[in-house]
Homo-oligomer: A and B are copies of this chain.
Amino acid sequence: MATPQQPAGDEAGSVTRKSRLSREIVLEAALKLVDEEGLEALTMRRLGQALHRDPMGLYRYAANRAALLDGVTELVLDELAIFADDPDWQGQLRRIAHDLRLLALRHPNVVPLLVTRPLSTPLGLRPLGTLRPLEQILGLLIDAGFTASDALHVYRAYYGFLYGHILNELQEFIVDPDENEALLRLGLHRLPPKEFPRLRALAPALADYDGASELDEGLTILLSGLAAHLSAPLVKKG
């Protein structure tokens, strides 16, 4: 009578009688696995054993592995909150950018999915969760006074820059944080000095990358430039 749901067919004694699964639970377990052990650790069998389930059962919640990956990206993007009614579009875009940056830093192993999956899925067939930010930002810009097609231009430049920045920042990677010489810390000592003089000389600058402010400066340039070149609404700051 320990497990009220089960009529004692399963005698083996492995106690964990599992509560009903759901797509959300599965995806969250998948995300956890990716966060902790990387993308290639997310296999059906590993995920199954993380959930104490038969791997085959997971196919009820994701048609195949690709769909599972899509689900994970969707789950991550859901963490991004967009308030489409803020009239300060520049401020709003700035906030979103920083939010997405932090999200990427929190889930670095998911970033390849974020940038890669859409490349193999036509716009109209993507998971809705990944299209929602696009729709919402378009709404934000249109509400702020942009033409629909100008809104699209702004969105493209903005999102392009944002994703590019995130990729850049995640790439500049510290090999050995214990080392205090910048050249060594970044592994740049391997590079032939003749061929890569400036890269090597820039080691210290590379080593202290302030991603947030670098992103912010770029955004300032880009957003004000966009505002100037297009049918810019007047609003600027709260």
A residues lining the B interface (CB < 8 Å): 108, 111-112, 115-116, 118-119, 121-125, 128, 131-132, 134-135, 138-139, 142, 148-149, 151-153, 156-157, 159-165, 167-168, 170-175, 186-192, 195-199, 201-202, 205-206, 214, 217-218, 221-222, 224-226, 229
Contacts and interface: CB of A to CB of B under 8 A. Distances in A.
Given A122-B187, A135-B196, 17 more contacts: A112-B112, A119-B170, A122-B174, A123-B186, A124-B188, A125-B187, A128-B191, A128-B196, A135-B197, A148-B201, A148-B202, A151-B198, A151-B202, A152-B202, A153-B214, A159-B164, A161-B164
A165 B199 CA distance: 25
Contact of A202 (B138, B191, B217): B138
Copies in the complex: 2
A61 to B, nearest CB: 21
A159 to B, nearest CB: 7
Contacts of A157: 161, 165, 214, 217-218, 221
A195 B139 CA distance: 11
B122 A195 contact: no
A124 B159 contact: no
A135 B199 contact: yes
B229 A217 contact: yes
Nearest to A157: B218
5 contacts: A125-B190, A139-B198, A152-B205, A157-B221, A160-B168
Given A149-B202, A164-B164, A221 B214 contact: no
Contacts of A170: 119
A138 B168 contact: no
Contacts of A199: 131, 134-135, 138
Contacts of A149: 202, 205
B224 A191 contact: no
Contact of A148 (B162, B191, B205, B225): B205
Most buried by B among A131, A170, A225: A225
A125 B175 contact: yes
A148 to B, nearest CB: 6
